[in-house]
Amino acid sequence: MSTLRFKVVEEASSRKAIEVKMPAERPEVYYGKHVFNRQKMFEYLPKKTYDALVRAIDNKEPLSREVADDVAEGMKRWAIDNGARHYTHWFQPLTDGTAEKHDAFVEHDGKGGVVEEFKGKLLVQQEPDASSFPSGGIRNTFEARGYSAWDISSPAFIIDHTLCIPTIFISYTGESLDYKTPLLRSLDAVDKAATAVARYFDPKVQHVNSFLGWEQEYFLVDEALYNARPDLVLTGRTLMGHESAKNQQLEDHYFGSIPSRVAAFMLELELESHKLGIPVKTRHNEVAPNQFELAPIFEETNLANDHNMLLMSVISEVARRHNFRVLLHEKPFAGINGSGKHNNWSLGTDQGSMLFSPGKTAEDNLQFIVFVVNVMAAVYRHNALLKASIASATNSHRLGANEAPPAIISIFTGSQLSNVLAALMEGDTEKLASLSGKEGLKLDLPQIPEIMIDNTDRNRTSPFAFTGNRFEFRAVGSSANCACAMIALNSAVAEQLAEFHRKVEKRLGAGEELVTALLEEVRALLRYANDIHFDGNGYSDEWKEEARRRGLDCETSVPLMFDAYLSPSSVKMFTETGVFTADELLARNEIKWEMYTKKIQIEARVLGDLALNHILPVATRYQSVLVDNVLKLHAIFGEEKGAKVSAPDMDTIESISTHIGAIKEQTACMVDARRKANKIESEREKAIAYHDTVEPCMAKIRYHIDKLELIVDNEMWPLPKYRELLFIR
């Protein structure tokens, strides 16, 4: 009997909620307590230093060495006052998480003791030995140097008595080895391009910012059950497990009441997040049992992304304190919903105008239309790339499945906006435009009426939806670094806006009126990008057909999706916007393919081990119990009647044999496929081999194991079942 399974199930179900000590103060007192924000800067820095730092942050300028020394001194004092003993550069290498290497503040004082010191040069730049981070061949190990450099736009914070300084991470020769560097470059590109266009409507605009509000979905599992599932521990998802009789079909979990153990965990998570300046606001149950969501108030994209990375580590820590493990994997359980990370994205000017918000006046609405249509064109041109930006070994289990956005990028606009766009596409722009008055733009545009976007006009099946004042990129995976999607999106939109600006300038140069020029270009873009617009059911088979007809990217193999990064149009776009060099693109794709292979490789090994050493022995043991029974029945009833009464057992014995045989055969097949794939030199070809030859065996092995789970004596089954993993009491 599998005593371990029963023990852990009992342990999990007897656990009580852990009480959270709430601070006496309100959030406005403890919010940002662990962050070196402007308020702390003002308190700890000399006035001159504070002014210089704030100016550098606001104007995106570099800091002088003297200012850096003063900032480091003030930052150290604040950190020490708040219990820190160490500092670290905190960066986002091309792995799943963040990286840090801690140093204590201590230095020799020359008298046999120590002083705590922190100099500007250590704040601004460091040289972590970087040879073991993925570099896709950019940095050979003999030249292992990589630099981390302070990103002044993201404030330092304290975690676990360590001062963390957000940094970029680049190679000795300047290539980016992280997510933050290209993200910052893409934000700069979209700032420049969007500012030029936004000035048609408001000449005072100096900068356009990109905003991101992520919604993070995740699962919780009790730690005792988690520890009894080697697949969860090692791969983050269950590689086997028959569906629970009850899962999400009653739709009773979504927005349902939150179990008390989970509520306690969420409370502490929010508390910790707020102390770190992560503005989390919304929490609720998700569709699947044990699935939840957390969303902050949106922020500037670079900061929002740092906050998401930080949250993904904080959430795991806090979960442990509540005897949970958090699963950020996109598809921890087959047969029920997976987890995504909706990226709500928008652009806004430094003059306070949100560029995807329709306004009250015709001018506002023309600006709105111009920006929305440019986004549509960018997404259309780069739909394959945007899909590649969210593709991964883990997210592939979710994309295209019934609950997730399909593996085809299209844009949902909703009926009201669709009508306006259709009218614009047909309309005669000559008649539309009339300029009058000295104040600048004055419009009399019946085709651009007051646009009221009804926020309830939503389509949950769209991977990229317009939701009233923003676009929601929903195909992003729950475990992903949002930067990957945000880099592709902001760069593509930057390229598009720059081209739009060039064309409008040309028209203006030829003496056209501004409004006519804008409308003509908008109409041209609408005609060009019309095929990206789809308001129907993204899950339907008809859409797959239709999308293919429209020429949208329909690739379903992840290693092949990555090719989109190296297509001529992507290389042109990334190099022209200054976000990636061609070499960087090549190197990063090598890493993508390598990561893909490694993830599948690990899963295949774990599955092989579980199949051969956990499942088959138990199935055999149960089978021999049945065999024993058959022999005894024959002994009691004699040959003829014995055969009759033992017939049901004989059936079961046979089907167990069938499944055992299939599992053995498929496991051998999988091992063989792996061996062959491992010999392949090219990372791309290797990843393709893993996708085409290793993964299919895994699916077959799982199928037979799940069948055995239904046959074998419940008391013998070694691994916690879905019904036990999925329902927190």
- The residues binding Mg ion (CB under 5 A) are 342
3-state class (DSSP) for residue 267: helix
3-state class (DSSP) for residue 193: helix
Q: What residues does 294 pair with on adjacent strands? A: 216, 283
CA atoms within 13 A on the CB side of 157: 28
Amino acid at 198: A
Amino acid at 686: K
Number of H helices, E strands in the chain: 26, 18
Min dist CB 228 to Mg ion, Å, is 34
Q: Is 382 an interacting residue with respect to ligand ADP (CB under 6 A)?
A: no
- The single-letter DSSP state of residue 530 is G
Min dist CB 276 to ligand ADP, Å, is 17
Nearer to ligand ADP, 354 or 423 (CB): 354
Nearer to Mg ion, 342 or 659 (CB): 342
307 binding partner (options ligand ADP, Mg ion, none; Cβ < 5 to 8 Å by kind): none
How far is the C-alpha of 146 from the C-alpha of 148, rounded, in Å? 7
Q: Is 368 an interacting residue with respect to ligand ADP (CB under 6 A)?
A: no
Q: Is 270 an interacting residue with respect to ligand ADP (CB under 6 A)?
A: no
Compute the chain's Rg from CA coordinates.
29
Nearer to ligand ADP, 100 or 286 (CB): 286
Min dist CB 374 to Mg ion, Å, is 22
Nearer to ligand ADP, 350 or 706 (CB): 350
Q: Is 454 an interacting residue with respect to ligand ADP (CB under 6 A)?
A: no
Q: Of 167-175, 344-352, 441-449, 691-699, which segment contacts ligand ADP by CB under 6 A?
A: 344-352
Q: How are beta strands 99-100 and 86-91 bridged, if at all? A: antiparallel
CB 93 within 8 A of CB 178: yes
Q: Which two tokens stand for residue 565?
A: 């990064």
**φ and ψ of 209, to 5 deg:** -100, 150
CB 602 within 8 A of CB 234: yes
Q: Is 313 an interacting residue with respect to ligand ADP (CB under 6 A)?
A: no
Min dist CB 356 to Mg ion, Å, is 15
Q: Of 75-83, 341-349, 437-445, 520-528, which segment contacts ligand ADP by CB under 6 A?
A: 341-349
Q: Is 190 an interacting residue with respect to ligand ADP (CB under 6 A)?
A: no
Min dist CB 469 to ligand ADP, Å, is 5
- 22, 297, 435, 636: which one contacts ligand ADP (CB under 6 A)? 297
Q: Is 416 an interacting residue with respect to ligand ADP (CB under 6 A)?
A: no
Q: Is 282 an interacting residue with respect to ligand ADP (CB under 6 A)?
A: yes
Min dist CB 145 to ligand ADP, Å, is 38
Question: Closest residue (Cβ) to Mg ion?
Answer: 342
Q: Is 482 an interacting residue with respect to ligand ADP (CB under 6 A)?
A: no
282 binding partner (options ligand ADP, Mg ion, none; Cβ < 5 to 8 Å by kind): ligand ADP
Determine the distance from the C-alpha atom of residue 589 to the mean position of all C-alpha atoms in its chain, rounded to a whole number: 18
Element spanning 284, H or E: strand 280-285
Q: Of 186-194, 317-325, 340-348, 625-633, which segment contacts ligand ADP by CB under 6 A?
A: 340-348
Nearer to ligand ADP, 212 or 694 (CB): 212
Q: Is 469 an interacting residue with respect to ligand ADP (CB under 6 A)?
A: yes
CB 558 within 8 A of CB 394: no
Min dist CB 440 to ligand ADP, Å, is 25
Q: Of 85-93, 211-219, 252-260, 531-539, which segment contacts ligand ADP by CB under 6 A?
A: 211-219
What is the dihedral sign for C-alpha 496, 499, 505, 511? Answer: negative
Question: Closest residue (Cβ) to ligand ADP?
Answer: 213
Q: Is 201 an interacting residue with respect to ligand ADP (CB under 6 A)?
A: no
Nearer to ligand ADP, 470 or 550 (CB): 470
Backbone dihedral region of 241: left (phi > 0), alpha (psi from -120 to 50 degrees) or beta? left
346 binding partner (options ligand ADP, Mg ion, none; Cβ < 5 to 8 Å by kind): ligand ADP
Size of the residue set binding ligand ADP (CB under 6 A): 14
Amino acid at 641: K
213 binding partner (options ligand ADP, Mg ion, none; Cβ < 5 to 8 Å by kind): ligand ADP
Q: Which two tokens stand for residue 106?
A: 């201590």
Element spanning 560, H or E: helix 558-561
Nearer to ligand ADP, 67 or 475 (CB): 475
Nearer to ligand ADP, 166 or 296 (CB): 296
Q: Is 215 an interacting residue with respect to ligand ADP (CB under 6 A)?
A: yes
- 295, 432, 443, 607: which one contacts ligand ADP (CB under 6 A)? 295
Nearer to ligand ADP, 50 or 211 (CB): 211
Q: Of 159-167, 196-204, 291-299, 530-538, which segment contacts ligand ADP by CB under 6 A?
A: 291-299
How far is the C-alpha of 592 from the C-alpha of 602, rounded, in Å? 16
Contacts of residues 531-534 at CB distance under 8 Å and 24 or more positions apart, as own/partner, are: 531/380, 532/376, 532/379, 532/380, 532/383, 532/409, 532/410, 532/411, 533/376, 533/410, 533/411, 533/413, 533/418, 533/421, 534/410, 534/411, 534/412, 534/462
How far is the C-alpha of 523 from the C-alpha of 505, rounded, in Å? 16
CB 212 within 8 A of CB 301: yes
- 169, 298, 412, 500: which one contacts ligand ADP (CB under 6 A)? 298
Q: Which two tokens stand for residue 489?
A: 């999106």
297 binding partner (options ligand ADP, Mg ion, none; Cβ < 5 to 8 Å by kind): ligand ADP
Min dist CB 372 to Mg ion, Å, is 18
**φ and ψ of 238, to 5 deg:** -85, 130
Distances (CA, A) of 49 to 42, 59, 572: 9, 15, 41
Q: Of 29-37, 296-304, 433-441, 478-486, which segment contacts ligand ADP by CB under 6 A?
A: 296-304
Q: Is 346 an interacting residue with respect to ligand ADP (CB under 6 A)?
A: yes
Element spanning 107, H or E: strand 106-108
Nearer to Mg ion, 274 or 342 (CB): 342
How far is the C-alpha of 450 from the C-alpha of 436, rounded, in Å? 20
CA atoms within 13 A on the CB side of 207: 10
Helix, strand and coil percent figures for the chain, each rounded to 5: 50, 15, 35
Binding site for ligand ADP (CB under 6 A): 211, 213, 215, 282, 295-298, 344-346, 354, 469-470
